[in-house]
Amino acid sequence: MKRRRGFSLVECVVAIGLIAVAFTTVAVATGGIRRALARLRADVEIELGIERLAIQLRADAHEALAADLPAPVEQSAPAGSLRLTLHGQRRIDYSIRAERIERVVRQQGTVAHRETYRLPGSPAVCWTLSSGAAAPIVALQVAPAPPGGADSIARGGVEIQAAVGLLGPLPPGEMP
């Protein structure tokens, strides 16, 4: 009986086919993992942004002397705005824009600082201002996204509440 040396052509084609199937499976799985990781990263970024917004809004509201929801007729106050008046001719405006909230700090009428907080998907967002027993309460409500939305934080909705004027007016010349 003769001993065979090497591999037949059929065996080589089958081996190459199996290797190609394995590489295709790994490539598809890797692509899925990358997409899932990107979605998770975006969700975490939005959640951290909303947490930063909550901290900043509470700090601003506690320091504010007054709060109001300006009428959308004004050019400087689009629909869905909150205006906080602070001591020393400072004013902070929070404006709801498409998929983001913009915070603008004005010192004596000029813009001193501007920052933006991303919102999940395209949820319904609104401000409410209620006069409580001790201090007015400002609330930002982010309603759940429509069914089929991909953002996890928007599914449950978010509400941020802050009392206005808890710190009270500071003596002249004292910085917060």
Chain segment 119-166, per-residue pLDDT in tens: 877 778 889 888 866 788 999 988 766 655 554 554 568 889 999 988
Q: Is residue 29 part of a domain?
A: yes
130: amino acid identity, one letter: S
The pLDDT of residue 77 is: 47
Residues counted in the chain? 176
Total Cβ atoms within 10 A of residue 21: 10
Residue 158: its pLDDT value, please?
86
**pLDDT of amino acid 167:** 78
Burial class (CB in 10 A: 0-12, 13-18, 19+), 154: buried
Residue 124 lies in a domain: yes
Q: Decide if 62 is inside a domain.
A: yes
C-alpha to C-alpha distance for 164 and 66, rounded to whole angstroms: 7
pLDDT of residue 79: 56
For residue 147, being part of any structural domain is answered with: yes
Give domain status of residue 2, yes or no: no
4 occurs within a structural domain: no
pTM: predicted TM-score of the whole model, two decimal places: 0.72
Cα distances (angstroms) measured from residue 150 to each of 39, 126, 143, 158: 8, 21, 14, 16
Give 82's strand partners.
94
Buried/exposed 117-144: b ≥16 CB within 10 Å, e otherwise: bebbbebebebeeeeeeebbbbbbebeb
Query: What is the span of the domain harbouring residue 139?
Result: 9-163
Residues 6+ apart with CB under 8 A from 61: 67, 84, 138, 162, 163, 164, 165, 166
